[in-house]
Amino acid sequence: MPGIPGAVKIEFIRRLGADWRDLADIFDTRVDQQEHFGRAADPGRAVWDWLSNRDRLADLPAALTAIGRADLATLIEGHQPDPAADAVDFSALIDERTEDFVGRRRLARDLWDTFDDPAFGSGYLIVKGEPGIGKTALLASLVQRYGLVHHFNSVLTGVTSAERFLRNVCAQLVVAYRLPYRRLPDEVTADSATLLKLLGEASRSERVIIAVDALDEAADRRTGNNRLLLPPALPRNTYVLLTLRDTEGIPLYVDERREMTIDERDPENVSDAREFIAAFLARHQAIMTARLSGLGLDETGFAAVLTDRSEGNFMYLRHVLRGVRDRTIGGDRLDSLPQGLQAYYAHLESQLGVVHGAAPERQLKILAVLATWPEPLPVARLAEFAGEPSDTTAAVLRRWAGFLNRLDGAVPRYALYHASFRDFLAGRLDLADVRSQIALSIEDSLP
């Protein structure tokens, strides 16, 4: 529940006292987590921060009432923010993913032609494609261009829950379509009923499109429901534009659906890849002109080599173009450039040296912790889980900065930049062993 005044938070923590244990029980926190709260200098503040990091503050009033602290529930409810405060701010991600975006003109036309099809009065439009093909960038560009209600799932940054999706999207609907609600109902995350109600109201006068990225990264409750509690049927004139790797293994029980695939071999994708390369060369004209001269290539020849080696994968192009510019890859020849994204990650490993005393294997194990833990981690916690010194861990993060997301705050936290890198680490290391290492670290920290 963003927007609660600091004075209210302080008063809540002061008055909660020993009832923090009952509150922790209501939220089904693990025994080790409760032990962590108990060791904190201020357990009430630790519980508050834990709830805040998981977007669970909105559940506080009901939980407080359940433990007999209606006084604190009233304190919190008296400062409920407007619905806009429940929306997740994805602006940084959207700006970053659209900064280099080019092409996809035919695909965008095809998407809108589908929405305009009279035979498709409502439903789900699914865009499939391999990791790194540009699905997130496409969706971000459409959100930016049309102001779509949106939600970007990411297992790497911990944005995976149905609760977070429902609260975010419902809040955006209220704000974007000026629906007459001062706050979201308490049961907004219980099921998709509130979402359907708001969709029905918003679509009375205009078409509503919700953009949802990476459904395959959303948490799977295994309850027979769709991921994110997506409703099987949508009100007339409402649509959900979904992206995911593949529909295999991701059940989606819906009445109306259409599908499109971004194929790396498609001539338009190849053309978009060339346009992406040309745009990069134009943005870095001086340095890239010198680099191409040293490589003995003109722009056409350079684009031909990278388009072929990338196999139409934009994540490959993003990393390799920067590597060529910065002279960290390619040297004076491009003959050694790997073929395809996963081969590129393996090539990087083969070029690794020792970083702050950590051999390549140790570096990958540090990064593998980020591949297994369900939310971004600060350096100290990452080092603890990996069994490495903090200074070594920080040095490894600096070395791999181009493949990481840094979430700034009072204490910066880190996550992998893209799921394809997680896939590489999963193929290179046994992530079950990494999880066991994390579990042992947690056990060792308990009194």
- Select from 297, 323, 350 the last residue of a domain: 350
Do 251 and 102 reside in the same domain of the chain? yes
pLDDT tens, position by position, 194-238: 999 999 999 998 999 999 999 998 988 767 789 999 999 999 999
Q: What total of structural domains would you count in the chain?
A: 4
Determine the structural domain holding residue 203 and report its residue range.
Answer: 86-262
Do 115 and 258 reside in the same domain of the chain? yes
Spatial separation of the C-alpha atoms in residues 100 and 283, rounded to whole Å? 10
Most trustworthy range by pLDDT among 74-78, 148-152, 318-322, 413-417: 148-152
Residue 173 placed within a domain? yes
Q: Quote the pLDDT of residue 245.
A: 86
User: Are the C-beta atoms of 260 and 125 separated by less than 8 Å?
Assistant: yes
Whole-structure pTM over 0.85, yes or no?
no
Residue 1 placed within a domain? no
Residue 81 has pLDDT above 60, yes or no: no
Q: Which residues pair with 407 in a beta bridge?
A: 413
Do 131 and 255 reside in the same domain of the chain? yes
Of the candidates 87, 97, 88, the one whose C-alpha atom is nearest the C-alpha of residue 133 is: 97
Do 258 and 294 reside in the same domain of the chain? no
Average pLDDT over residues 33-51: 88
Q: Quote the pLDDT of residue 357.
A: 64
Helix boundaries (H) for 121-234: 135-146, 162-176, 193-202
Do 230 and 299 reside in the same domain of the chain? no
- Select from 350, 373, 391 the last residue of a domain: 350
How far is the CA of 12 from the CAs of 4, 68, 244, 247, in angstroms?
A: 11, 14, 42, 46
Do 109 and 224 reside in the same domain of the chain? yes
Do 183 and 98 reside in the same domain of the chain? yes
- Owner of token pair 């490495």: 388
- Select from 350, 375, 393 the last residue of a domain: 350
Of the candidates 303, 314, 320, 312, the one whose C-alpha atom is nearest the C-alpha of residue 269 is: 312
Do 65 and 103 reside in the same domain of the chain? no
> pLDDT-derived band of residue 1, with 50, 70 and 90 as boundaries?
very low
pLDDT tens, position by position, 137-193: 999 999 999 999 999 998 888 888 999 999 999 999 999 998 988 788 888 998 999
Helix (H, G, I), strand (E, B) or coil at 61: helix
What one-letter code names the amino acid at 59? Answer: D
Residue 369 sits in a domain whose CATH number is 1.10.10.10
Burial class (CB in 10 A: 0-12, 13-18, 19+), 371: buried
Do 97 and 224 reside in the same domain of the chain? yes
Structure tokens at 265: 């071999």
Residue 99 sits in a domain whose CATH number is 3.40.50
